[in-house]
Structure 1
Amino acid sequence: MALEQTYSNGSGSQFTINLCGATVTSWKIGEEEILFCSKKAIRDGSKAIRGGIPLVFPNFGPWELGPQHGFARNKQWKLDTDSVKDQDENPSWTFILEDDEGTRNMWNKRFRLEYTVQLFIDTLKTSLYVNNTGEDSFSFTTLLHTYFRVDNIKDTRIKGLQNLKYVDKVNGGEHKEERELVCIDENYDRIYKDRVDNVTLYPDNNQSSITREISTNLPDIVVWNPWIEKAKGMSDFDDNEYLNMICVEVGAVSKPLTLAPGNKMVASQTIKVGQKSKI
């Protein structure tokens, strides 16, 4: 099977997934691209893909046992062929990653990850099922690292973060978000904790915008944009691409999750493309 495959629902919605990391690199409704993927992204499996929806597991951030953000976004996944049978009008596909000698050398745990991608006319649902197949409990952090395409980051707004506490990974400290509409005008890397509401992304301008409604069962939201200087330092990211992307990432990263032997949990997000509306 080729490294990248494209799947559609027959109603004008389609996604492309790279089996390196089971990274969704594109989601289109008709001709409109919803996700951002760098034109310099490495797609041959030699490193994690810069864009789309990389999967973070079993660790968010720098990791003393292995690569930053864990190994799931670097490993080769496989399609569960049974998952594509008897599809209805909202089809889904499931991709599998299990522990192997390489993962156990880094993190000596037994697991099975099942990543399901489901297409609707105007919605993409991604669900990462974590199964503990070993005899001991394990703890982990996880994140769906979604890159959204925007026309201009200077016009982009995010709603749904007001009154949340956040950790500022650029400037340090924990703070409270006072703004109803969050805008980005600098190197931005913040973990918003204990999410209550859904998050709405206005990707176009502050007059009217076709929204992206993001819902999840996870507690944390990470918002990231590298801005000018950091963009210049990334070899797999064009210098000016920071203008056309924003990461709004759902996850459980501020506190590890613990999974008992034989148990499973799901980390899911639903992205719905809404109607044009004024902010």
Structure 2
Amino acid sequence: MPVDTTNPDKLVLTAGADSAEVYYFGATLTSWKVDGQERIFLSKDAILNGTKAIRGGIPLVFPHFGTVETSKLPQHGFARNSRWELLPQSAGSDSETVVQLSLKPAQVPESLRSLWPNDFQLIYTVKLSASNLTTTLDIKNTDSKEWEFTSLLHTYFRIQDVAKVGVRDLTGRSFVDKVAKGARDQELRDVVTIASEVDRVYENVEKNEIHIVGTGLGKDVVVHKKNFPDVVVWNPWVEKAKGMADFGDEEYHNMICVEVGKVADFVKLAPGESWSGSQTLIVA
């Protein structure tokens, strides 16, 4: 069957020779296999019992990216720390499988909910087809007052060797270098490579196709983004890796985060308004 719901913790999607796994906790996609080849990185030390955000996969960032001075919420908000609900509209065929998950305030842990007391509905759509994975986040203000947010798809890509991977299509873009305490700079390279800790927010990236090359896993990956203007590139490198209990000391060699989002500026939503952003990952 295209969607296996027998596991109480996660969904398993299949479409032809491809598959994906999505946990209800955080609606976090933790696996995407194309012709049997895993393309998503999940730490061997990731905690999967719902007590902590999952280290790897595609964590969902909402209502804000990172930490914000005006909010007491933990880093990246609460969407990745809440248990989502499967919606009945999910459908499937032999060639394409679709599931939708929903998050409303009542599903958010009270300790987090009280820190952001706004009404909302999030709908996350995962569509799997041959060599393609599309993830779409729809955000609706169901409150009687305006509120604002930032959002991001924090995708961890599995790679063979971080020394050989590169990210194209960021040439000329300005970025915030979080390793350099928020200094601003401009990307002059045709291919962004990793040789030390990297944590950069590339703002207003005009190109809607970002190529990840040199994955060491055969074909490259193309990220098609829609309504997510910003791109974050992250690798923790040696010291940060050692400092994360849910991340192996040497695992930085085998992953790179290329994250599409709307994070440089807040989006304001009036009551009843909606916003949507998506990415399509293609192995080509």
TM over 0.5: yes
Q: Pick from 218, 235, 239 the counterpart of residue 245 of structure 2.
A: 235
Tell me by how many angstroms 1:6 deviates.
1.0
- In structure 2, what is the equivalent of residue 202 of structure 1? 213
Instruction: Find the residue that maps to 1:82 and give its secondary structure.
Output: coil
CA RMSD of aligned residues (A): 1.5
Instruction: Find the residue that maps to 2:179 and give its secondary structure.
Output: coil
Task: Provide the TM-score with structure 1 as the length reference.
Answer: 0.93
Distance in structure 2 (CA, Å) of the matches to 1:82 and 1:3: 19
Instruction: Find the residue that maps to 2:241 and give its secondary structure.
Output: helix
Aligned residue runs from structure 1 range 178-193, under 5 A:
178-193=188-203
Displaced runs of 4+ in structure 1, greater than 6 A?
none
Aligned residue runs from structure 1 range 52-201, under 5 A:
52-63=57-68, 64-84=71-91, 87=93, 89-100=95-106, 102=110, 103-172=112-181, 173-197=183-207, 198-201=209-212
Tell me by how many angstroms 1:210 deviates.
1.5
Matched to 2:140, the amino acid is N
Distance 1:88 1:194, change over 3 A: same
> Structure 1: where are the runs of 5+ without partners?
275-279
Task: Provide the TM-score with structure 2 as the length reference.
Answer: 0.92
Instruction: Find the residue that maps to 1:21 and give its secondary structure.
Output: coil
Matched to 1:82, the amino acid is Q
Please give the per-residue CA displacement for 1:201-222, whole angstroms capped at 9, x wherever unaligned. 01435xx951111011211000
Distance in structure 1 (CA, Å) of the matches to 2:246 and 2:37: 23
Contact 1:192 1:221 in 2 (8 A): yes
Contact 1:20 1:77 in 2 (8 A): yes
Matched to 2:77, the amino acid is G
> Structure 2: where are the runs of 5+ without partners?
1-6
Contact 2:158 2:256 in 1 (8 A): yes
Number of residue pairs the alignment of both structures matches: 270
Q: Which moved more, 1:128-137 or 1:102-111?
A: 102-111
Distance in structure 2 (CA, Å) of the matches to 1:236 and 1:81: 33
Q: Percent of pairs identical after alignment?
A: 41
- In structure 2, what is the equivalent of residue 247 of structure 1? 257
